[in-house]
Each structure stands twice: as structure tokens, then as C-alpha cells.
Structure 1
Amino acid sequence: MCAHFEAVYNPERLRKTFGLSLPEGGRRDVWPAYPAAFIRYPRPLAAAPATGEGDAPEREALLGRFGLIPHWAKDASVARHTYNARSETVASKPSFRDAWRLGRRCIVPAEAIYEPDWRSGKAVPTRIVRADGEPWALAGLWTGWRDATGAVQRSFTLLTVNADQHPFMKQFHQPNEEKRMVVALRAADFRTWLQAPLAEAAALVRASPAQDWQADAGQDAEPGAGAG
């Protein structure tokens, strides 16, 4: 699972990688319930603004809370338990199934994720980056709805897959725990993930090669949130 990531905070870096402007108000160091940018295909929620050619943009970056908050949730505290969606149960778990069924898939830009390395017998927070130095494009789901005041509430979660046999990610989390990892997308897959039919997009929910991952020893900025 991934409860902590470092958002892409350099506007030029986001524009270069994703071709989008960085929304204001996001946090650089992101924990569950914190605001951060996510990228979606505009049409599922509402009609998208027209471009010069009269077509909707291919994607847009918006601000949302880390941790999916369904419309039926009593308050935003549910985000502390919905920041990761297991790929094996995403289609059936009440918190995620509507977003999955409706095709509300998103990309979460990140400079790094943080996971605890337990090989020494203690949890050592480890900063994990792409080996090529580019930002991560993490596969997620989003939701959006209006509260009683009419304000739009947006949130997102990160999809995870089993990593018990992954050469890199199997070293993280406690020895007796199942190993999980986020789903990293390649630029060539952005359109498929955001716009393709469910069956085609679901094929991208898989572990990426170990050579794509690189660890740097790091220090958590603050205590982690509750387990998802």
C-alpha cells in the first residue's frame, strides 16, 4: 500500500510530462485527506470546456483529497481508509465500485512514493523514485459530487497490485504482511487508461518492471495515517 507520496510541485515539470497546468492549493508532501493534483478525462462528470477546435480537452488536472470519499460518506475522515484500492476487489468494494464501473479513472502525478523498508528489523522510510528521473504517473480512481452547500468535493485513490514476488517492492513492509505496490503507467498508456473501455484499461493494472524503480533513503515528514 502507499499512504505517502511527494506530489509534482514544479509547474514546468508537470507541463513537460503531462502537458497540463498545476492547480493551486495542493500539498507537496501528501498523506491521506491532504489535497493534491490528479489528472482525469473531463467528460465523465460534466461537459468539458471547448478548445479552439470545439472539442473537449484530452485531459485536465484538478485538485482532490487523497483518499476516495464516496457521496454517501458522513465526512472526509473516510479518506484515511480509502487511499488505496486493491485491484482484486475494486469492482466489488462499496467505496470504489461506482468509480470503477463509471470509468472514473485518473492519473496521479508524483515525484516519489514512500514505503517502509523492514529488512533491518525496523521501519526505515524509503523514498522511491523512477530510475529515469521522470515523475511517476500512478493509476487511480476519482470521484466528484456536490455537498449540501453546493460545493464540489473531489477525491482520488491509488490502485495497488500484489507485489509478493516483485524483485524490488517485495522488500518493503513487515515480513509477515502481504506486499503491495502502486500501478505505474507509461506515457503511451495515458489515453488508454483515461478513455478506453473498462476491459482495455483494466489490462494496464499490473506491476511494472523492477528496473523502473529506484530507492533513496528518506525520512518521513510526519507520522503516517491509518491503514487502508
Structure 2
Amino acid sequence: MCSHYEAPSMDALRAAYDVAPSEPVTHDLWPGYTGPFIRQAQDADPDDEDAPHLDALVGRFGLLPPWAKDEKLARKTYNARSETASIKPSFRGAWREARHCIIPALSIYEPDWRSGRAVPTRITRRDGELLSIAGLWERWRSPAGDTVHSYSMLTVNADDHPLMQHFHRPGAERRMVVILPQAQVEEWLSATDAQSAEFLRQYPAERLAAEPRPGR
């Protein structure tokens, strides 16, 4: 599970996805913080070849379904288990409506417990490119009437993953976020709910790099 990650700069977002949010973003992100996410353009003219295919927005890290009473729920809904997202009350609406998004990240942080204590470890793509994390997005109406966007990272089991099996507490299930190859980004964003499961798989360990950060 991922509760801490680094968001890229505006320039890096434009280079990777050709879009960036109009609002400033937080780069060191935890549940409840506001960060960028990418979704399929909502009002694009399908006959206009020059129209942008993607939108970049800022939203709460942690999904807020329409029935949420307040934004505190985001502290518990920042990751969605791919096996149960279609039935869990917090996620099933976004799953059913195929509100797919990409959460762009420079890196994610996970605790390495092999030494007997948690060592924060920074995980990146070995080639230096951004991590395109598959997620779900929602829109929520606050008690004040404001529209708040939010998002959650989808995860899969990683008990047998050569790298990610080393993270989290002993005895706990190993999980990892779903990282998509760049070629699948737009396919994921346009996929139907019935097609969602085709994208939810482990990212190859040899394409990832892990660096301990004991000072954090």
C-alpha cells in the first residue's frame, strides 16, 4: 500500500502527458493532501483532431464518494484493492462508472522491515521516467457547496513480487500500486469497467529501483 509519494513538476507533467493542472500542486504527498491526476478529457469534441485527449486536475489524495460526510474519509481511501474495488462502498461508484485516472509520481515510499525496523525506501522507475499509477477518481460536493475532486491508487497483491515483497510489516500482506507502461495510459483512461481488470497487474521488478532513505 502506498501512503506517501512525490508528485512531479509541471514541466515533467507536460513532458509525459502533454497536460498540466492550472492550479499549483503539492509535491510531497500524504493522504488528504492535494495532488495532480490525469483523466480522459470530459468535453472533447471527438471530431476535432487537435482537441486535447487528456485533462489534468488537482484533487484530494483519498477517494471521497458522494455520500462522504467530510474530507476526513480521504485518510482511509487513498488505496483501493483491485480485488474488491467493484464492491466496496467507497470505490464501487467510481469503478462502475469507469472513472479511471492516472496518478503521476516521481517516486513512491514504502517501509522496508527486513532489518527489524521500518526503513523508508524511495522507489522509482529505473529509467528515470514518471510512474503512471492507475487509479479511480471522484467528485464530491462539500457541505459549503464546493466541488472537490479526489483520487485513489489501485493496488494488487505483491507477495511474490521480487522487489515489493520486501516491504511492510512482517506477516502483513504485501501490496503494490498498479504502475502502467506509458503505452497503456490512454487505453486505461478510456477502458470500460468490464475491461478494467486487464490492466491490474504487477509492474516488472527489473524496471524499478529502490533506495533506502533512513534519514527521512
Q: TM-score, normalised by structure 2?
A: 0.94
Among residues 98, 103, 111, which one is paired with 2:106 in the alignment?
Answer: 111
Q: Which residue of 1 aligns with 2:76?
A: 81
Q: Which residue of 1 aligns with 2:39?
A: 40
Secondary structure of the structure 2 residue equivalent to 1:125 = strand
Q: Which residue of 2 aligns with 1:15?
A: 14
Q: Which residue of 2 aligns with 1:29?
A: 28
Separation in 2, partners of 1:88, 1:134: 28
Q: Is the 8 A contact 1:147 1:153 kept in 2?
A: yes
Runs of 4+ in 1 over 6 A off after TM superposition: none
Moved more, 210-219 or 54-63: 54-63
Separation in 1, partners of 2:215, 2:131: 19
Secondary structure of the structure 1 residue equivalent to 2:20 = coil
Q: Is the 8 A contact 2:38 2:102 kept in 1?
A: yes
Moved more, 13-22 or 72-81: 13-22
- Superposed, 1:113-132 pairs within 5 Å as 113-132=108-127
- Superposed, 1:61-210 pairs within 5 Å as 61-210=56-205
Moved more, 186-195 or 89-98: 186-195
Deviation, 1:148, is 4.1
Q: Is the 8 A contact 1:138 1:158 kept in 2?
A: yes
Q: Is the 8 A contact 1:51 1:57 kept in 2?
A: no
Distance 1:161 1:111, change over 3 A: same
Separation in 1, partners of 2:196, 2:57: 21
Q: Is the 8 A contact 1:25 1:35 kept in 2?
A: no
User: Pairwise CA RMSD of aligned residues?
Assistant: 1.9
Separation in 1, partners of 2:49, 2:202: 38
Q: Which residue of 2 aligns with 1:225?
A: none
Amino acid corresponding to residue 142 of structure 1 in structure 2: W
Number of aligned positions between the proteins: 216
Q: Is the 8 A contact 1:192 1:201 kept in 2?
A: no
> Structure 1, residues 46-69: CA drift from partner, whole Å, max 9, x if none?
xx2659938753111000000001
Unaligned 5+ runs, structure 1: 222-228
Q: Is the 8 A contact 1:116 1:125 kept in 2?
A: yes
